Amino acid sequence: MSTWKTPQRIWLTGATSGIGEALARKLIAQGHQVVLSARSAESLDALCQGHPNAHPLPLDISDRQAVLKAGNDIREQLGALNLALFNAGTCEYLNAQQFDMDLVERVFRPNLFGTLYGVEAALPLLRAARQEGLPARLAATSSASAYLPLPRAEAYGASKAAVSYFWSRCA
């Protein structure tokens, strides 16, 4: 990202904690036009406060219709995207003695399906940047747990393995 000579139009999900928050702060400081998404509107507003290049867009990435609407909102605001970075995700720990399929679905919904909903919403915006002759990139955060299992994180690891596999087939 430091190789860009001009500000980019970027959509980042999972922007209010961990890796996403650190990345959001860096992108804002570099002067990019950044649309930041996370579930907490309050946290997004705090992160964007005082930064005219940071645009809060509260979003539950696991809601397909909301993600598609977010794509339309970004189109209205920025016109196109140079980078869509899907970082939102969750981890819940599974207890093998009390298997909980609802937990597995709660982890897969944002980690895999939310990422793919984002791809669906972002592709037209990335194509618009390419039509302008500008770069357009798509990225998602996976995890080393996709390759090296963590105790009780079967749902998380499996969801991230699915993201990694999907990305490797699309590249």
47-92: per-residue pLDDT in tens? 999 999 999 999 999 999 999 999 999 999 999 999 999 999 998 9
Q: Which residues pair with 34 in a beta bridge?
A: 10, 54
- Cβ contact 122:80 at 8 Å: no
Round to whole Å and give the CA distance between 4 and 95: 45
Structure tokens given for 75:
């189109």
Is the CB of residue 84 less than 8 Å from the CB of residue 138?
yes
> pLDDT tens-digit profile of 7-61?
999 999 999 999 999 999 999 999 999 999 999 999 999 999 999 999 999 999 9
How far apart are alpha carbons 67 and 72 in whole angstroms? 9
**In which residue are the tokens 């390419």 written?**
130
What is the pLDDT at residue 2?
A: 56
Angular region, 165: left φ>0, alpha ψ -120 to 50, beta rest: alpha
Delineate the domains of the chain, giving CATH numbers in brackets.
9-170 (3.40.50.720)
Instruction: Name the band, by pLDDT with cuts 50, 70 and 90, for residue 110.
Output: very high
pLDDT value at residue 4 = 80
User: E-assigned strands of the chain?
Assistant: 9-13, 33-37, 54-56, 83-86, 137-140
Structure tokens at 103: 């937990």
Cα 17 versus chain centre, distance:
12
pTM: 0.92
| Confidence grade of residue 148 (pLDDT, cut at 50, 70, 90) | confident
Which residue type, as a one-letter code, is found at position 28? I
